[in-house]
Amino acid sequence: MPELSRRRALTAAATLAATAGAAAVVASGAAADASTTPATRATPGAAGHEHGHHSPASFDEVYKGRRIQGHPVAGGGHQHHGGGYAVFVDGAELHVMRNADGTWISVVSHYDPVPNPRAAARAAVDELQGAQLVPLPAN
């Protein structure tokens, strides 16, 4: 009978760990699906993506002398990171993104999540301190 080498023991342990981890992930996903009733499941948003969040209302206002606007868009916005929502500061597009937890960030205030696109536009105006927003080139 061949002896068990260190390499074979480590390979067997790694295989068992990977199998157990995959089984745990599958089991937790099945349990989550079973506990979610159809009434509480995420509904597709305006862009057809399932985020579980409704699209914020449109806005158009002057904030600290700057015109900020935002509205839902069909097609998911720029590379659909904006969750189907477009935001503008003085007519220049402010790229925004909805996080998994429902908060929003922009290219100007990327590390400071806010509750909605209007707050993202206001945070960008605050951060710009009077400077013009330079549009990002489309890929």
**Of the listed ranges 12-21, 44-53, 117-126, the one predicted with least confidence:** 44-53
Q: Give DSSP secondary structure letters for 49-105.
A: -B-S-PPPPPEEEEETTEEEEEEE-TT-SGGG-SSSEEEEETTEEE-EEE-TTS-EE
Residue 133 included in any domain: no
- Are residues 36 and 85 both part of a single domain? no
- pLDDT at site 90: 96
Residue 104 included in any domain: yes
Residue 136 included in any domain: no
Residue 2 included in any domain: yes
Q: Is the pLDDT of residue 15 over 60?
A: yes
Residue 117: CATH number of its domain = 3.30.1880.10
3 state DSSP class of 127: helix
Predicted structure pTM score: 0.58
Strands 92-94 and 85-89: antiparallel
Range of the domain at 84: 59-128
pLDDT grade, residue 101 (50/70/90)? Answer: very high
Q: Is the pLDDT of residue 35 over 50?
A: no
**CA–CA separation, 119 vs 51, rounded Å?**
20
Q: Is the pLDDT of residue 118 over 80?
A: yes
Which residue type, as a one-letter code, is found at position 35? S
- Are residues 71 and 31 both part of a single domain? no
Residue 134 included in any domain: no
